[in-house]
Structure 1
Amino acid sequence: MSKQTRYIFITGGVLSSLGKGIAAASIATLLKKAGLKVSILKADPYINVDPGTMSPLEHGEVFVTDDGAETDLDLGHYERFLDENLSQDNNFTTGRVYSSVIEKERRGDYLGKTIQVIPHIVNEIVDRIKAAGKDKDILIVEIGGTVGDIEGLPFLEAIRAMRVELDKGLAMNIHLTLVPYLKASGELKTKPTQHSVGELRRIGITPDMVICRSEMPLDKDLKDKIARSCGVDKNCVIESFDCQSIYQIPLLFMQQNILDPISSMLNLGQLKVDMSDWNTLVKRVIAPSDLVKIAFVGKYLELKESYKSLTEALIHAGAHLDTKVDIKWIDSEKIYSENVDEILKDVDGILVAGGFGKRGVEGKMEAIKFARVNKIPYLGICLGMQLSLIEFAKNVLNLKDANSAEFDENTPEPVIYLIDEFIGKDGSKQIRTHKSPLGGTMRLGGYECDVKKGSILSKLYNGVKTIKERHRHRYEANPKYRAEFEKNGLMVSGESSGLIEAVELKDHPFFIGVQFHPEFTSRLTKPNPVILGFIDAANSR
């Protein structure tokens, strides 16, 4: 195989949210298992610069990369499937493209020319795709949205132009589309797929492969019909029907020999894939031996995609422990001191996730108190750690005014406070911060954390002295209260340049709060140690 990067362009038709990201990640996983150097890029046609300022209810989770980029949640799927760290180069939006082109125009880079979608915007998109594919055997490019969306046209033009520019055997187009089932007639219908492929052809893109999303498997006659009407080979019509777990999709694709036509079109030679370890984990996801019930206390329960990485991380931990993690979703705004015992009486562990804003924090602290007093395994992430400190300060240290400056900037007891930039003892800047367009600064991306010897956290990470995890937050634990916390049994077990990164309760089976987001580094084949330890403790009750 030549050294040139091959490109697989994945588009979607008929409806959004059909699973292009899962399909892309599944193909990437198979290619990586075949020994190729693979990466994935998500190109989003929306005009926001990135999802960082978008509501979780609008867009779902904001996934944070190790280098501090706020990206689309599909990058989380990519990392979880590939078991690789991606970066800001693996996701860009229309907003970022236009910002870059306008900045270049203002600098005079275009020598006074009229700036147009073609060639300038399209060329910027092409340049970003090529940069992401540098030094890779394969780059899979997922185009967000649906064919027919007006905002997606420049992206489709970019991949059309690239396909023309590249030598034969260096690129292929895969189109994922819906084959709906009509209950009234008892039929799967191919017409939406035909129309979607027709729309692609109208703008100059001919798919080499069609992946069919459906509620159930397609019979041979239906697949043959799709092949004829869409102009693809019969072995290039791939089923992607509803499965019990998204982690079954690579196995489903492999059963259909998806790599054979991909290898043929991209001149990859004979590809051998061993998915036995993956298959073992998937079997444990689908049919585990044990069951553990976890109370997931949050406030974005209207759209559980807001917590996608965390729910997937729980699945990863469960697979490695051969345990089904049964999530009991609990709206924190509906928890009060009068009903907390009833709500949480039957759970094996309590999880309080991250979030921004004051809404629902009282209910979260009631849940934290219940876990602390009743010695139920507890994991607090980001805001969940901060609230565990406030609850402890209120109810153990008797600091009744204990609060976060996020909720009351004039609180007399700022257990959690805002620091725009942390300055080390030697005067150097120890922590990089990112200025938000909304006015605040945030710690974003991976930071090292020193782990206290002998702590539960140390045991979870197998005695490693320094770990690295990802952050997304504005407020920090105030070190002013550290001595009183530790004097009364709440130990700081992780810190970074003087900042409190992790706390845990002594004389408790498992009570840990972490400022970082452990879910961002969890993978099916390598669950995060903190989340794995939490589920193990809950399962051991």
Structure 2
Amino acid sequence: MTKYIFITGGVVSGLGKGIAAASLGLILKSRGLKVVNQKFDPYLNIDPGTMNPIQHGEVFVTDDGAETDLDLGHYERFTDATLSQSSNTTAGRVYLSVLNNEREGKYHGGTVQVIPNVTEEIKRRMLLSTQETGADVIITEIGGTAGDIESLPFIECIRELKYELGEENCCYIHLTLVPFMKKANEIKTKPTQHSVKELQQLGIQPNILMLRTEIEIPEATKEKLALFCNVDTDCVIQNLNAKSIYEVPLNMEKEGLGNAVCKILGITGRETHLEKWAEMVHVFENPKHHVKIALVGKYVELHDAYLSVVESLIHAGIANESEVEIDWVDSEKITDDASAKEKLAGADGIIVPGGFGSRGIEGMILTAKYARTNKVPYMGICLGMQILVIEYARNVLGWTDANSTEINPDTTHPVIDLMPDQNGKILGGTLRLGKFECAVTPGTLTEKAYGSTTIWERHRHRYEFNNKYRDELKKAGLIIAGVNPERDLVEVCEVPDHPWMVAGQFHPEFKSRPDKAGPLFRDFITASLKNKI
């Protein structure tokens, strides 16, 4: 029978439940088990699709077009999985489903209540991944912190599932903060005790305590927590601050997390094989080279808004045995050619990632101009490709008002525009989401990177390259390096007579892995290293 692991958080938010869940997924997968991770969030948004990246961080997109929490990126990168719509559920999506059921008469006129109607819908979704994947282990992260009002229906669900699925098939892991009081030179366990008590009052007795800490936790402290929280001492796992998130699975395995989980779930005869992961971490922590990349965007005050891009640059660095230093550049601070030179002169390569809206756009266009005219390697992602096209149209073809209709609806040269079938739809209903095919032009840098003339990458965008201007842009030298064959939409552009200036309408960061860097990212860092030399 499928085994279920539920991870909750306590004391404070932001402790890294997503990394912990991803790390456990990798550990169990390395033991030969089929593992699927999923995230249940208590907020009332249907999904993160329309949420501000400054508040929420990036929106991660799956192959089937789900707009999800950024933790799903960690799950995919650590376990090399392909997740789906069922991998991320919000309270908003649950309540929407329940209310639709009520309107359709599916409750036969009965009173609709949190218990059982909402909880039954949550449980149905929690078990959906089992039906879809046939996984040996399902790891479910519950968003929020123990004690949050909005989390109560989710906590009730995981309590009920223990009795419905069998105690031997469920494991509860509670991740808490164990603060260190410097003045007193003392580790404090009381917050963890209170957090566990909060869960116990709701009917949840954790099987494993995972303790986030800045310093080593003495065995005596672990024994104290085991006694007061009713868990075995070998199930009190230290989660010490690591040099990088990629070191966390190795640390957790040393601490005995895999053995503790397998013991609780009755999984036997499984040895961990993390040798290749350890080799990757060694390369990451012992780079032979260094490269500086300017990341020019509009959400740079919150680095998590570009989390998958940053991770993909790290992966590309690992593939090139290079440390990647990121220089965060606010595109609004680039106002003319002089400020572009001031902000970008020290960069070995420049990347312009995705985004929506008009803020900071002119700074990005100046950035693309700087990269093109100074022969600095440039990688554009989604909006970054549109920026490349706008800059090329303005400064090579001389169409000075060339723009996207998202930015200037009245431009006489709308080189980026909505497609006819997108007009009139509500916000969030006009996006091209998920995995699409791209036919790559032979002989291009893109074909060299992928080693193929057919690729599949994930998308999340609304505006497209306007085909009305394709012939004129091509005559002016712009290389159309990739096209979606289904709708004849331009997917990749390259600039000629340049060491490496490539931009894709898709988001290659969503499929990059620590031990298998995204091809465009890998070659971008290679070109940036050559530029440095």
d(CA) in 2 for partners of 1:528, 1:64: 15
1:235 corresponds to which letter in structure 2?
Answer: D
RMSD: 1.3
Aligned partner (choices 69, 83, 94) of residue 66 of structure 2: 69
Per-residue CA deviation, residues 262-289 of structure 1 (Å, 9 max, x unaligned), is 1111111122111111111112222211
The answer (yes or no) to whether the contact 1:420–1:441 under 8 Å persists in 2 is no
Per-residue CA deviation, residues 89-121 of structure 1 (Å, 9 max, x unaligned), is 000011110111111111111111111111111
* SS state at 1:540 partner: helix
Shift of 1:167: 1.9
The answer (yes or no) to whether the contact 1:245–1:285 under 8 Å persists in 2 is no
Alignment of 1:66-465 (within 5 A): 66-134=63-131, 135-335=134-334, 336-421=336-421, 437-438=426-427, 441-462=430-451, 464-465=452-453
1:511 counterpart residue number: 501
d(CA) in 2 for partners of 1:246, 1:206: 28
Gaps spanning 5+ residues in structure 1: where?
423-432
1:493 corresponds to which letter in structure 2?
Answer: A
d(CA) in 2 for partners of 1:23, 1:165: 26
Bigger mean CA deviation after superposition, 349-358 or 226-235: 226-235
Shift of 1:420: 4.5
* SS state at 1:123 partner: helix
1:76 corresponds to which letter in structure 2?
Answer: G
Bigger mean CA deviation after superposition, 284-293 or 528-537: 284-293
1:472 counterpart residue number: 460
The answer (yes or no) to whether the contact 1:281–1:320 under 8 Å persists in 2 is no
**Aligned sequence identity (%):** 51
d(CA) in 2 for partners of 1:298, 1:394: 20
2:519 counterpart residue number: 529
* SS state at 2:262 partner: helix
1:312 corresponds to which letter in structure 2?
Answer: E
* SS state at 2:338 partner: coil
2:264 corresponds to which letter in structure 1?
Answer: M
Shift of 1:437: 4.4
1:176 corresponds to which letter in structure 2?
Answer: L
Shift of 1:498: 1.1
d(CA) in 1 for partners of 2:186, 2:437: 55
Aligned partner (choices 451, 466, 483) of residue 495 of structure 1: 483
CA 1:518 to 1:36, structure 2 compared with 1: closer, same or farther past 3 Å? same
Shift of 1:485: 1.9
d(CA) in 2 for partners of 1:58, 1:347: 28
2:439 corresponds to which letter in structure 1?
Answer: D
Shift of 1:440: 5.2
The answer (yes or no) to whether the contact 2:352–2:384 under 8 Å persists in 1 is yes
Bigger mean CA deviation after superposition, 350-359 or 178-187: 178-187
CA 1:37 to 1:218, structure 2 compared with 1: closer, same or farther past 3 Å? same
Gaps spanning 5+ residues in structure 2: where?
none
* SS state at 2:83 partner: coil
d(CA) in 2 for partners of 1:243, 1:296: 25
The answer (yes or no) to whether the contact 1:39–1:139 under 8 Å persists in 2 is yes
The answer (yes or no) to whether the contact 2:49–2:428 under 8 Å persists in 1 is no
d(CA) in 1 for partners of 2:338, 2:374: 16
Shift of 1:439: 6.7
Shift of 1:302: 1.4
1:429 counterpart residue number: none
1:475 corresponds to which letter in structure 2?
Answer: Y
Give the length in aligned residue pairs: 526
The answer (yes or no) to whether the contact 2:295–2:326 under 8 Å persists in 1 is yes
1:517 corresponds to which letter in structure 2?
Answer: H
Shift of 1:133: 2.1
TM-score, normalization by structure 1: 0.95
2:468 corresponds to which letter in structure 1?
Answer: K
* SS state at 1:519 partner: helix
Shift of 1:338: 2.0
Per-residue CA deviation, residues 299-342 of structure 1 (Å, 9 max, x unaligned), is 10111110011101111111121111000010111112222212
Per-residue CA deviation, residues 151-188 of structure 1 (Å, 9 max, x unaligned), is 00000000000012222311110000000111221222
Bigger mean CA deviation after superposition, 475-484 or 371-380: 475-484
Shift of 1:407: 0.7
TM-score, normalization by structure 2: 0.97
CA 1:455 to 1:531, structure 2 compared with 1: closer, same or farther past 3 Å? same
The answer (yes or no) to whether the contact 1:83–1:525 under 8 Å persists in 2 is no
Shift of 1:489: 2.0
The answer (yes or no) to whether the contact 1:259–1:271 under 8 Å persists in 2 is no
The answer (yes or no) to whether the contact 2:50–2:428 under 8 Å persists in 1 is no
